[in-house]
Structure 1
Amino acid sequence: MSLVGFMQAGNATVYSGSWRHPATEHGFLSASYYQKLGRTLEEGCFDLMFFDDRLAMPGVYGGSVAEAVLRGARPVKLDLSVVLGVVAAATRSIGLGATYSTTYYSPFHVARTFATLDHLSEGRAAWNVVTSINDSEAQNFGLSEHLGHDERYDRADEFLEATTGLWDTWEDDALVLDRENGIFADPDKVHELNYEGDWYKVRGPLTVPRTPQGRPVLLQAGSSGRGLAFAARWAELIFTGDPGIEVARSHYAEQKAKIAEAGRDPDAVKMLPMAYTVIGESEDHAREREQLFLNDLVHPMASLTLLSELMNYDFSGIELDAPITDELIESSSGVRGLVKNLRANFGGETMTLADLAGHRATLLQGPRFVGTATSVADQMEEWFDTAACDGFVLAATHSPGAYEDVVRLVVPELQRRGVFRDRYTGTTLRDHLGLVRP
């Protein structure tokens, strides 16, 4: 089983009410806060911690960022290259991942950033590939509106071709470092890329030698038709949003088949749904904590603000009891596949705007494992053992306490059952994940 910590470099976890929880530490503007998170997850032998990101405050709802700022609906987002740098210095084994957009960055910038991180962390870097989702991000980069859904993925395919090509411009043994003869590197083993596509032209070579992992690990979370195909071609970890075990099993089988159709080994790609864990001394205690964590701390306006950001659609003029229709989903240019998965979990019942907004504010598109440490481990093991997933991306109801609960209580139970490691046996993130070095 693979375990990944789902991070935000800001005022809240992916659960937008987390900043209000009495046990949450408000250290999100300090290096020591993120270093503590890294050390906690490393103590629990997690494969990876990765940080989500957006390139704008949520500002689609009502055309304003006011509600996001007022309600703490994730308005703070620090620069991830700096955050991961300070975490790398405080940890030794855990993988370190960041979200970078193929829509608003350039292949050379991303290739250099993650190659540098892979070297300085001694082989622990991962890139969560996203295409960005809304007009607010576009407007921070001099554009009036975001690219269309499929167009973003067409551009992203070229972006990955160029970026992975740049990572390969240095051969493994290009560095010579011969002091006596004054030979730094072999020029026959450092190559121009000369990539040319419809969207990008990149000469190369990269200014960073080949990295310990060969290439950083690639994560991706596309769940629409176009997103599934993109993940099948590129992803080594696929981050999913499957609300129930039957939906997850169907998605798992479909995605693995697409990976095989793309000519890759399905067993070499891990699928990891996002999940919450709420752990108590008893089942009743856990349910009480769940009520506080996931139901009592989210303001309705935070829900609508985050939903508008996700869908790139202004819901300010729509009633809360309005149904979510196919036409509404298709009229948005944001994350479509996630919403379709949520609707499937409703079992034919009508999903309203209020239902969807509540899911977005708490990010409940994945399972919620609630109970004692033993029963939470039971639930996780059922998903893992029945072809629903290869592990989990664990989100926090509050931070760092939710992760401390998992590491202290659930991880030892999984280790006793033999489904999770009790120590790191390799040195790189690819070693942890059992991935071949390219």
Structure 2
Amino acid sequence: MVFKSINPFSQLLIGEHEVLTSAQLNQKLQLSERAFKNWKQTTFDQRAFMMRKLADTLRRNKEELGLLITNEMGKILQESISEVEKSALNCDFYADNAEVMLKEEYYDTPFKSMSVYDPMGAVFAIMPWNYPFWQVLRYAAPVIMSGNVTLLKHAPNVIGCAKAIEKAFLEAGFPEGIFQHITIDISQVESVIASNIVHGITLTGSEMAGSSVASLAGKHIKKTVMELGGSDAFIVLKDANLEKAATVATQSRMLNAGQACICAKRFIVVDKVAEEFTALFTQKVKLLQQGNPLLEGINLGPLARLDLAEKLSDQLEKSIQQGAKLILGGDRENCNFQPTLIDLVDSNNIAFQEETFGPLATIIRAKDENDAITIANNHRYGLAAAIWTEDRENGYTLARKIEAGNVFVNSLVRSDSRVPFGGIKKSGYGRELGTIGIKEFMNAKSLILE
């Protein structure tokens, strides 16, 4: 079997990648096991030295790596380069902080008691195509700095990125087997999860993928972290700075052509300011320039694959049939999907119920702030949300009522190495980033000395 990389904008074939045989996969697993036996004995200083070299390698090659990202999945070039830079920052962060984060903890007991954090072994990662460098380095930097090793199954359309990341690890001086990408088919996933060499699984992807992998992991009693879908609420209250809210709304919905779990998708606006906000939002979306993602001045590229564009078109068509009003956009040519706004959406509409992965913004009217919170929480996803209000204290109070893993007040929803990130409900469980994230695949071992 061969995976094909197709440039989303030109639809030209840019790469083919053969799937590993069972024997080749087993060799990769065995190498991972051997590498872990040595890697877990290294010091934090030794790991940090290589992790900082990895950050330097990424920065030195950011234009070349950014071009690879754009060619494989279609985001505009500057966004791709910024993704590589953010990945490098994450490497530096964990190089600087992993040792302190994993320091032993002592307890107030009549006897000496403490917890120490030991690495578990190989972590199997299943990662998506939408941020092909950041999603990988987001989990891999803390996993490797903590003394674990990892095997990456990347999305089939970004295998070139997977190979480039592995090459960067080796160039930075990491021994073979610490980070490996494995080109495998879905049918081979269970054999990796079942292997005694693998001790944890992390997945970023769809709700369906998470359910399937979590079931397999449960069958084989393996620890998992799941970062799944999102239908993030962007709540605009009557006292919000509407100009700023509309500017950030455009960025939050259209960044990466709307292909992010934490993109704002449901714009819940109180009736009093709904017309004014919608007009401002529409005006700003109209200014976007869609086209070849390699050209300057273009700020919206194509969707990553033709099937994704077709699915979004189907969701839009059904939403309009169910009563939504088309304000702007709606047309598509191959993977190039026009930035689109729809209004008058209710909770029964498909655009409300499903995750729309692309440049489609859904406007929902709320009677007041309490109604807005109710609408925001009336969903199976709970990844992130944003609240816009000039009353900061009320914003923080309302943020506590939102059912999500991350809530931002008057700001763009984003991930940050210093802050734990993850969701609840059908958006998954467990956390990446921050101190919580680095401890997910560690054995918190209690030591008691009488």
Q: The TM-score by the shorter chain falls in which range?
A: 0.3 to 0.5
**Structure with larger Rg:** 2
Counting strand residues as a fraction of each chain, which structure ranks higher? 2
Question: What is the TM-score when the length of structure 1 is the normalising length?
Answer: 0.35
Question: What is the TM-score when the length of structure 2 is the normalising length?
Answer: 0.34
* Larger RCO (alpha carbons 8 Å, 6+ apart): 1
